[in-house]
Chain A
């Protein structure tokens, strides 16, 4: 298997169903005008074939850019980004909890957006920027520091996910002073079992203040 770049915004190979339909419609219309229908249909079929999902199997080398560092390993097409980070690259900040995009413990920042790495395929992340909690500033201006000071953690297993979601939320809302309600909405994709939410909210509000001042 070659290294794949199948997760462009429009799906595999940069083609989408909508684009195909639109394209073939235009092709058919122009075919009538130019009497080259056969050629147009052939082109449309070729485009349709290219849009079909490819079946990948076996193992392949993959290089991911994690926290600014190129890291290589061998993955299967089905390997999730989370399992690849944890089991193959020893990046264990993101945690596997629900494994079904319900709890947010596996949150990483992919090209600037927080995503659930448990339901993101590793092969789709080639060439993208992956930030995990390990890469965050641990100094006084950082989100981890705020979680520590405000006791936004107990057992701590959900914490990397909350810290990452919080960082992504604050990065996307620079210079703003979020309210408690804003922070709750920003962190609503994460679940904690120890019940440490109060500390988490305080930490997020404090981090927002520090980042605004910075």
Chain B
């Protein structure tokens, strides 16, 4: 079994990211910034209709416009069906973006407009037009464990409620897209805003009939993906084709509206839950009917979530709507499952008159074993205790006792879980050059998580160097195969082969230079930028490397057991105030307690957790894709009416790293997803605690809060 260095000098400390200054000074070149000589600007023409047949496309008017260099149809007249507003119709490349937009507008498209269903309500309504060939809805058979109906009879308290979460979109700040630059008739270099340079390279090979060796995908930095950017996409392939036709490089990125409409989204969720417990606070049964929409994609989510209910049934119905297709979004399914489960748990605790914290702890499985023989229930217990202390849970009061004036204060909590393990087939190359420079190479990428930096931390740790001395060269599809950045898998996939590569390179360096020092390789060690022989300083790092002559050391590392693990817990607490006259919710404080094995860089790790929490705060308070049932259009495909938190919306956030010796020996585990799962759930519970009424619909917007208050007063 491989192991991480004992008593590390760098690992686990706070290290600013390698590319931080380049990003903060505007010098980092994003795929949308790249401007090769002769660059043309691509514009995608997308459908204004949500449901239609494309009857005719006339590209000619665009082709004759000034500055237009290439035009391409993406839909086929007489064949293509439009399933959502924003679907791809054609693409144009021109000398300026303004001219490309004019040309796209000049393309004449004849549509046969068909009936649409823009919302779940509209799609599932009786008499709704049948829009999808296999039906507007697809009900799965109930999955039943034990005898829920019988068990429910024995419950002392039962709640029955319906909870809903809307579709939200990724809102990547750098839209989806790429810049395509042909280097010869059969050879292309692509600057892609992607979470997977290998995925985009593969798409280019498949769609353009190129040899893998002739495709290079580069992603030095990129502006956010959150699960929606694994492929070249129709418009990316279009950019390559336009570039070929025009004989010049083409930059093609979605505009903001298109980014909302076709760049992906997190499916909605609706859950009608019947949950029963005995007087002693033990869950006895759960019956859940759930549904959701992912456009034409799936919307399933885990339920029950975290807590143990032996007798249960769950039936999920997919509802299809004329909206863009769902894509993976930070912890796919979990935020939805967590929100509806935790809401039901809280409502049942309130009905039983039990403190919701105690109720949760009483309903964890006795043994929830995850990798490495870790009982996650033990983790939860300690994490909840820590979180309770940090939020001041001793101030918790039952619902309806949280202030006499219009401003009510409330506390809520929620638990979450995630895997976070990695792949075992990825590689990292380490090169030590005679000039003392050290380079790491892999076809993974840094989507803002700090992947580039943690690889350098590992190398610097092993080689006794500073992090800034390591060139962490990733985001290049021609390098040794690396992990796609999704599902919190990058660190656990890439850190082990990185350690292996650097240790191999160091050992090879020792082997090669030891004879010249009249020493054995095992006598050599590295510390503080110096080469030591039997513990005595003999040369600087640069001097040692110079002894390599003309030949650099190169080594390729592979996965090693014992360096990474999977299976994390975590909990979050929220404190809110709610103005019951205006419905405005303000989050005052959030506490996030999170484990994730061995933490490599505490600074970027904390940023990930803060970011997860803020993403969850957006989901809890602000975000919602609003569809117009009349036209099938998205009403808020912008960043004004599609609400996201700004600086003054950010509460006090306390991140507590559950970073114990027991966690460190597990090895590395990813942390991108877990901290975003339970925030919206905790906020929802804090709101219910504050106002004494469950707000059954997220986001906790003034409208949804006031609706819930009105319903409780019988005025709805």
* Residues on A facing B (Cβ under 8 Å): 76, 78-79, 83, 86-87, 90, 92-100, 102-103, 105, 132-134, 136, 138, 143-145, 147-149, 151-160, 163, 183-185, 187-201
Contact = CB atoms under 8 A, between A and B. Distances in A.
B9 interface: no
State the main secondary structure of chain B at its contact with A: loop
B239 to A, nearest CB: 16
Nearest to B221: A156
B640 A76 contact: no
B25 A133 contact: yes
Contacts of B653: 198
Contacts of B256: 97-100
13 contacts: A78-B98, A87-B35, A87-B97, A92-B35, A95-B223, A102-B638, A155-B221, A159-B23, A187-B647, A191-B645, A194-B611, A195-B612, A195-B614
Given A132-B26, A134-B26, A151 B35 contact: no
Contacts of B27: 93, 134
B639 A103 contact: yes
Interface string B657-688: 00000000000000000000000000000000
B165 to A, nearest CB: 19
B638 A184 contact: no
A17 to B, nearest CB: 28
Given A102-B640, A158-B173, A195-B615, A152 B24 contact: yes
Nearest to A137: B25
A143 B26 CA distance: 12
Contacts of A145: 21, 24
A95 B173 contact: yes
Interface residues of B, number: 58
Given A105-B173, A159-B23, 5 more contacts: A83-B97, A98-B256, A102-B639, A151-B20, A193-B173
Interface stretch (B564-572, B602-610, B626-634): B602-610
| Most A C-beta atoms less than 10 A away, residue of B23, B30, B97 | B23
Nearest to B21: A148
Contact of A86 (B33, B449, B611, B647): B33
Contacts of A184: 647-648, 650
Given A197-B614, A197-B647, A198-B610, A136 B35 contact: no
B224 interface: yes
B42 to A, nearest CB: 12
B448 A200 contact: no
A113 B525 CA distance: 55
Interface string B1-24: 000000000000000110111011
A54 B481 CA distance: 58
Contact of A92 (B21, B33, B173): B33
A151 B450 CA distance: 10
Nearest to A76: B98
Nearest to A90: B35
B223 A153 contact: no
Contacts of A159: 23-24
A129 B311 CA distance: 70
B610 A195 contact: yes
B640 A100 contact: yes
A107 B603 CA distance: 27
A192 to B, nearest CB: 8
A207 to B, nearest CB: 11
Nearest to B603: A151
| 5 smallest beta-carbon distances between A and B, as pairs | A93-B26, A195-B614, A157-B223, A155-B448, A156-B23
A76 B95 CA distance: 13
Contacts of A97: 173-174, 256, 639
B343 interface: no
Nearest to A143: B24
A189 B41 CA distance: 29
